Amino acid sequence: MNGPTAEGQKHGRGTKGGRRGTTAEGRKLTRSFSWLALLGTLLVIAGIVGLIYTGVATLTSMLLFGWLLLIGGIVGLAHAIESRGTNYFWLGVVVAALNLAAGVVVIRHPEGTAEALTMFAALLFLTGGVFRLVGSVVVRGPQMGWTLLQGAFGLLLGLLVLFDWPHSSLYVLGVFFSLALLFDGLGLVAVGVGGRRIVSMVSDRLDVPGPATDSPPKAPDDGQK
């Protein structure tokens, strides 16, 4: 009689310990998803502010781009020095020097860099729109209408940016940068909220008590022997 009861008590304690461990892991996951949702909210706020103040967003994006180039050049130079004596050394030094020079130029002249990048973006929109229009007319595939619409939109956007250049450099890159922040933030918020919901559902199912397994077995009735 004592054997099954002891085993049932051990099983019950093991189940409770497993549930406590699962609950702790669920709390950690919930906290992680909460931080992810908070980060997404901050990115959404930054994107909305950037869409309101596009000039500030453009300068901010240029400065961030310049510092990224500068840091990348420093890291690349350190990596090249560590690999001296190999064929990669001179290539790494040249690439690192170009990144350092570009980073310094972008940080010292963010307005001029914004104008150059805006012109480059306008030319990309123009060439992409023309190639889509010509390709859709020549190929005449099943997605011809959608490809024509994309090509016309790219061509129109490129012309609008190009005709308003260099004034368009004050807001075009800022708008793109802010939209990227906004959509990335919305994605993080969706992942965080959805993750919290899934963890809560799983925790609720694990917290449901199962059938009792630690009750002692009943002794046989002596009158029925």
Average pLDDT, the chain: 76
pLDDT digits (tens, 9 = 90+) for 36-64: 888 888 988 888 888 888 888 888 888 88
Nearest-Å Rg of the Cα atoms of the chain is 31
Phi, psi of 151 (to 5 degrees): -65, -40
Residues in the chain: 225
Q: Measure CA 45 to chain center.
A: 16
pLDDT digits (tens, 9 = 90+) for 100-111: 888 888 888 888
pLDDT digits (tens, 9 = 90+) for 148-174: 787 787 888 888 888 878 777 777 788
Amino acid in position 92: G
* pLDDT confidence band for 10 (50 / 70 / 90): very low
The pLDDT of residue 176 is: 83
The answer to whether 122 touches 162, Cβ cutoff 8 Å, is yes
Whether the per-residue pLDDT at 135 is higher than 70: the answer is: yes
Please give the Cα distance from 63 to 43 (Å, whole number): 18
The answer to whether 70 touches 99, Cβ cutoff 8 Å, is yes
Q: What is the pTM of this model?
A: 0.62
